[in-house]
A and B are shown apart, each in its own frame.
Chain A
Amino acid sequence: DAGVIQSPRHEVTEMGQEVTLRCKPISGHNSLFWYRQTMMRGLELLIYFNNNVPIDDSGMPEDRFSAKMPNASFSTLKIQPSEPRDSAVYFCASSLDLGSFYTFGSGTRLTVV
C-alpha cells in the first residue's frame, strides 16, 4: 500500500487566495483526520470523518476552513480566504476505524504570504 497520500507537499500562496489541500487515505480505512501542526501549538485536530461523515469539526478554527469527504478515497481541506496565520504543516491521517492507531501522510507545508 502507498500509505496516506497528500498533495501538494508544499504550497505558497498570497493572502486572500483560496487553498485546497488533498488527501487519499489508505484503502479500507474508515476514518480520516485532518491535523494542523505548528511550533507554538503542536498537533491540533481540525476535523475527522468516519465512513465519509464528519463526526467532529470543533477544531476548525474559523468559517474560512471547510473540509469534505465525497467518497472513501478522497478528502479535501479548503481555506478561503487564506491568511498568513494559516501558515503551518497540515497532516491527513487515516485509521482502520475509530479507536485504531493512525497512519499519517507526509503533510502539506502551507505558507501564506
Chain B
Amino acid sequence: TQLLEQSPQFLSIQEGENLTVYCNSSSVFSSLQWYRQEPGEGPVLLVTVVTGGEVKKLKRLTFQFGDARKDSSLHITAAQPGDTGLYLCAGPGGTSYGKLTFGQGTILTVHP
C-alpha cells in the first residue's frame, strides 16, 4: 500500500501569514492531487500535478511536485480566513487501478 504522510497535522495562523503544507511518501506517484474540504462538505479538487519538478499556481496557492515524484508541497501566501479548511493530498495507488489514496490531511485555521 502506498502511504501519503502530511505535515503538519494542524496549523493555526493569523491572516496575512504564509504557510507550507507537505505531503510525503516513500513511493513514486504518477501524479498527485490536492483537495480542500470545508466543514460539512466533501473535498474539492484544487490541482493535479503530474510532472516531477512541476510548479502550479492557483492565485495565492503554489503547488510543487518533487523531482522524484515522491513528495509535494502546498504554499499559501498571505493567508485569508477563507483559506480555512482541511487540505488533503491524494495519489493513485494500491493494487487496483483507479483508486486514490488520501493523506490524513492538514487542518488549517486562519484567524482574522
Categorize the interface residue count of chain A. Answer: 20 to 34
Q: Is B28 an interface residue (CB 8 A)?
A: no
Interface size on B, residues (CB 8 A): 22
CB-CB under 8 A from A58, the residues of chain B are 96
Beyond A42-B102, A93-B42, whether A101 also contacts B97 by CB under 8 A is no
Check if A104 sits within 8 Å of B102, measured CB to CB: no
B74 cross-chain contacts in A, Cβ below 8 A: none
Interface residues of A in 91-106 (CB under 8 A from B): 91, 93, 97-99, 101-106
Per-position binary interface string of chain B over residues 92-112, scored 1 when its CB falls under 8 Å from any chain A CB and 0 otherwise = 101111111111110000000
Contact with A along B38-63 (1 / 0, CB 8 A): 00111111001000000000000000
* B98 contacts across to A, CB distance below 8 A: 31, 48, 50, 55, 97-99
- Inside 8 A of A4's CB, which chain B residues have their CB? 42
Contact B92 A101 (CB under 8 A): no
Residues of A bordering B, CB below 8 Å: 4, 31, 33, 42-43, 45, 48, 50, 55-56, 58, 91, 93, 97-99, 101-107
